[in-house]
């Protein structure tokens, strides 16, 4: 595993206010990150739920276009509790989340501590976002920051696009990868005349192991030329595998961290999440030059081992600082933290070989 040169827990649930007085924040995690105007800015996922409890009922929050943030109180006998995050409605077999998420801007100065938790938020606004907006990734392209984020609703989990130049206001661009697709990472520049993204289709048919795919676009809005890039092989990445941090250009290629999930061993478990890395060809990012064969970053600290979902490190943001990398991640689906790695140490963990 990579040596941690610096590590700090940046945000706890109590550091961020809830949207309403009758809600409680249960997690501040999975942040997008970018350096803007000499300062590191995070866009952090804030998960919240009703603080009220009712005997025999579970409150399932959602965004309603007419009512705003509201709660459906559902009798427990109508629910199957799958894990801390998800319930299944026995009536029709559909899933609901036990919380709802929005995104909040946090300013971090040099990137190693929090300077300000701002009041600027990107909140659900439409039916396609009714169960929340989640897990942003930020990629600066030509002086503007482009944000991919998950939109959860009765229609499934899709990925939408927004942009900003100041993190004071956002321009929503709509859905760019329809359901079921998450963990979309944009490359910071065009390759061979096209924008490039990594994405994670989540098919209902179990024909394949979990996979990361690659796609190309002429304008960041319309995507095609899809092809598989990396499939989970080892035990630590057989449950789920998906993109983590947006690719950064390094000597020898494009470097990206990704997450792998160990398939849970018993009902109710989520399974541990760790991280690996891929080095992609600079001119043909569909070609994997080197990859992790074992986790290079895994839960170790107390705040990574314990939380709403234990044993999770989920890298989502990266900022280069000379020959060092500041990696921002969600810990135990509860906290936001930062870890610093030497670039050479990351590259030293990679091995030659195909990923699929």
Q: How many domains does the chain have?
A: 1
Strands laid side by side in the 23-36 sheet: 23-36, 39-50, 100-107, 116-122
Tell me the chain's radius of gyration from C-alpha atoms. 19
What is the C-alpha separation between 64 and 103, in angstroms, rounded? 17
Q: Within a domain: residue 1?
A: no
The pLDDT tens digits for 313-344 are 999 999 999 999 999 999 999 999 999 999 99
Do the Cβ atoms of 187 and 172 come closer than 8 Å?
Answer: no
Q: Within a domain: residue 88?
A: yes
Please state, as a whole number, how many other Cβ atoms lie within 10 Å of the Cβ of residue 200: 23
What is the pLDDT at residue 353?
66
Do the Cβ atoms of 179 and 157 come closer than 8 Å?
Answer: yes
What is the C-alpha separation between 74 and 317, in angstroms, rounded? 36
pTM of the model: 0.96
Task: Show the domain range for 263.
Answer: 6-352
What is the C-alpha separation between 60 and 48, in angstroms, rounded? 11
Alpha-carbon torsion angle 317, 320, 323, 327, nearest 10 = -20
pLDDT band at 145 (very low <50, low <70, confident <90, very high): very high
pLDDT band at 265 (very low <50, low <70, confident <90, very high): confident
The pLDDT tens digits for 11-41 are 999 999 999 999 999 999 999 999 998 999 9
Identify which of 198, 194, 205, 196 has the alpha carbon closest to the alpha carbon of residue 181.
198
What is the pLDDT at residue 96?
97
Domain with 108 in it: what CATH number? 2.115.10.20
Q: Within a domain: residue 279?
A: yes
Q: What is the mean pLDDT of the chain?
A: 95
């Amino acid at each position: 595993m990579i040596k941690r040169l610096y590590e700090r827990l940046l945000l706890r649930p109590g550091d961020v206010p809830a949207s309403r007085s009758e809600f409680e924040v249960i997690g501040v995690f999975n942040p997008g990150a970018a350096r803007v105007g000499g300062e590191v800015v995070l866009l952090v996922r804030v998960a919240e739920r009703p603080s009220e409890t009712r005997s025999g009922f579970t409150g399932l929050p959602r965004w309603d276009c007419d009512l705003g943030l509201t709660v459906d109180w559902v009798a427990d006998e109508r629910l199957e509790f799958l894990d801390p995050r998800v319930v299944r409605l026995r009536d029709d077999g559909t899933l609901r989340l036990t919380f709802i998420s929005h995104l909040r801007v946090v300013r971090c100065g040099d990137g190693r501590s929090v300077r300000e938790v701002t009041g600027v938020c990107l909140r659900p606004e439409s039916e396609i976002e009714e169960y929340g907006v989640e897990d942003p990734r930020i990629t600066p392209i030509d002086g503007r920051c482009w944000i991919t984020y998950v939109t959860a609703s009765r229609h499934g989990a899709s990925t939408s696009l927004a942009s900003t130049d100041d993190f004071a206001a956002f321009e929503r661009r709509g859905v760019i990868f329809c359901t079921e697709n998450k963990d979309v990472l944009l490359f910071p520049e065009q390759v061979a005349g096209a924008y490039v993204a990594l994405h994670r289709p989540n098919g209902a048919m179990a024909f394949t192991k979990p996979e990361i795919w690659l796609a190309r676009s002429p304008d960041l809005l319309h995507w095609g030329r899809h092809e598989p890039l990396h499939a989970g092989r080892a035990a630590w990445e057989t449950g789920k595998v998906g993109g983590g941090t947006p690719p950064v250009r390094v000597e020898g290629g494009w470097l990206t961290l990704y997450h792998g999930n160990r398939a849970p061993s018993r009902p109710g478990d989520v399974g541990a999440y760790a991280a690996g890395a891929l080095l992609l060809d600079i001119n043909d990012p569909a070609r994997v030059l080197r990859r992790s064969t074992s986790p290079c970053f895994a839960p170790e600290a107390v705040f990574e081992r314990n939380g709403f979902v234990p044993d999770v490190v989920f890298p989502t943001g990266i900022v280069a600082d000379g020959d060092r990398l500041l990696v921002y991640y969600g810990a135990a689906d509860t906290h936001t933290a930062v870890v610093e790695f030497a670039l050479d140490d990351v590259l030293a963990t990679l091995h030659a070989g195909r990923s699929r």
